[in-house]
Amino acid sequence: MNKELIVRSSSDAVDFALLKDGRLIELHKETEGFDFSVGDIFLAKIRKALPGLNAAFVNVGYEKDGFLHYHDLGPNVKTMLKFVKKATSNQLKNFSLRDFPFEEEIDKNGSIADTLHSNQSLLVQVVKEPISTKGPRLSSELSLAGRYIVLVPFSDRVSVSQKIESKEEKSRLKRLVKSIKPKGFSVIIRTVAEGKKVADIDRDLQNLMKRWENMCKKLSKAPQPSKVLGELSKASSILRDMFNDSFTSISIDDDVIFTQIKDYVGKISPDKESIVSHYNSNVPIFEKYGIERQIKTSFGKTVTMKKGAYLVIEHTEAMHVIDVNSGNRSNKAKNQEDTALEVNMISATEIARQLRLRDMGGIIVVDFIDMNNPDNRRKLYEHLKDEMSDDRAKHKILPPSKFGLIQITRQRVRPEMNIKTREADPNKGDGEIEAPIVIINKINADLQKILKKGDKKITLTAHPFIAAYLMKGFPSPRSKWFFDFKKWVKIQPRDAYNYLEYHFYDQNGSIIKV
């Protein structure tokens, strides 16, 4: 498994594409001027507490107030409030928490009105970005994420990622971290810390402590509300959370970002610094790596897959619904159950990719093709769980119901990635058509089906623009068909056709139905 990170910069945004074996699996955009990313910490003011919701609305400088629920306060919020009061009034010079007196923990079933009041200053962290008409979701239980650990102030525990399975390794890491952990801070040991030495983890800890102290120094002069600690850049956060030996290439088309990422990779993995390269070519970077084509074919309502199967993805206010279809493909499966299993397994892989690619969150209901064999349903369930194991978003998958439905809940912390893939119809001023690149994929798929049937002389008729594209260059798409299938396809332009209209004819001049 090879992973590549491709970074494209423009005047107002930076796009990040994560590829796995050449397939686009994640797409992120960092836009200038958007100040509310997951992980950002703000010095904010309580607008008002609402006992009925057991929550408070908080002014963080966004057009809509942020939402802070009682359960997101953290048990030591009273200590944090006291710390902020002293820090903002310039009464604190030491921010290590070693000698800072802790207040009693709040009752986990208490009331927001007993803890917070209007105009009170506090530190909050964005846990969910503004979505639709809602402001950001906030927490006052702060956490600073590093490469190997997460630092949590106003607490005093050590915990280890559940993904580290070895009890011996868990004990080693816990013992190691307890020996270097500063008083007044909890430490969460991340999965990537497995097998690391104390020096690596201590270096990460010292970097986080510096970030904490630099943030605290700002509090006495910072306006309220204001951001006092920003999350790392999108590229750095992706690398911090996901970088491992499977990364084979990082390509960036911008000088400044190239330098930043190269320096960051040099810090977290010096032996991998050489995989970072500056892309300099007349061909746009997303075109070079085939990302534009994948975007056009992956973000529509219908998503085609290999062997003729396809997904239909519908969005409602409450949930996402995905329908699995086998299509009119021919296959050599012995019976319907085998066909259903094969299509479902292909679809599960694509669904896991689509959830990450579009960053779909909330409730997702997938209507797989019905299977009678319980072993097959179990096999599908395990395969879907395995395919989603790399997903950084928290998620839960329920086993298939007797109706063939699988329900998934996936953490939603930022707006869903939504890319318009339809384009203006050149034949009609106000109409829309699928992106032309999609039609090339459809023609390829249809031709494969026709050739499997054994048709000998095949003629393709298409709009002059599409016909010209299929015949241009070397190797042209038509030449590639000849190399792949050892059949020469005659292509005839038809002026009367709509832009995306095409037909296949046999040697007798009859239309071939696909």
Residue type, 356: R
- Residues in contact with 331: Cβ distance below 8 Å, sequence separation at least 6, in sequence order: 307, 339, 342
DSSP state, 511?
B
> Which residues does residue 125 pair with via DSSP β-bridges, in sequence order?
41, 139
β 319-325/310-315 pair status: antiparallel
Cis peptide leading into residue 75 (ω within 30°):
no
Please state, as a whole number, how many other Cβ atoms lie within 10 Å of the Cβ of residue 454.
Answer: 6
Cα–Cα separations (whole angstroms), residue 428 to 167, 435, 466: 66, 15, 17
- Are 319 and 364 a contacting pair, CB within 8 Å? yes
- Are 255 and 8 a contacting pair, CB within 8 Å? no
- Residues in contact with 305: Cβ distance below 8 Å, sequence separation at least 6, in sequence order: 311, 346, 347, 350
pLDDT, residue 435, reads: 66
CA dist 34 and 188 (Å) reads 29
pLDDT tens, the chain, 514 aa long: 788 999 998 767 788 899 988 899 988 887 765 677 888 999 999 999 999 999 999 999 888 899 999 999 999 999 999 999 999 988 888 898 888 999 999 998 899 999 999 999 999 999 988 887 788 999 999 999 998 999 999 998 999 998 898 999 999 999 999 999 999 999 999 998 999 999 999 999 999 999 999 999 999 888 988 999 987 777 778 788 778 778 899 999 988 889 888 888 888 888 888 999 999 888 889 988 989 888 877 887 888 887 778 899 998 777 899 999 887 554 444 578 888 899 999 999 999 999 998 888 889 999 999 888 889 999 999 999 999 988 888 899 999 887 789 999 998 777 766 666 666 666 665 666 666 667 777 888 788 778 777 777 889 998 888 888 888 877 888 888 888 878 888 999 988 887 778 999 888 888 888 7
Helices (H), strands (E): how many in the chain? Answer: 12, 26
Tokens found for residue 358: 């579009």
The long-range contacts involving 439-445, CB below 8 angstroms and separated by at least 24 positions, are 439/466, 439/500, 439/502, 440/466, 440/469, 440/470, 440/477, 441/297, 441/304, 442/304, 443/470, 443/502, 444/477, 445/304, 445/308
CA dist 185 and 99 (Å) reads 12
- Are 118 and 49 a contacting pair, CB within 8 Å? yes
Alpha helices in 219-277 (DSSP H): 234-242, 255-268
Please give the span between the terminal C-alpha atoms of the chain, in angstroms, as a whole number: 35
CA dist 137 and 119 (Å) reads 19
- Are 66 and 135 a contacting pair, CB within 8 Å? yes
CA dist 417 and 27 (Å) reads 8
Residue type, 507: Q
Cis peptide leading into residue 270 (ω within 30°):
no
**SS3 state at 229:** strand
pLDDT, residue 32, reads: 65
CA dist 300 and 312 (Å) reads 9
Cα–Cα separations (whole angstroms), residue 413 to 131, 148, 300, 316, 323: 9, 22, 22, 18, 25
- Residues in contact with 220: Cβ distance below 8 Å, sequence separation at least 6, in sequence order: 87, 88, 89, 90
pLDDT, residue 330, reads: 47
Q: Which helix (H) or strand (E) holds 340?
A: helix 336-358
Residues 129, 130, 134, 140, CA torsion sign: positive
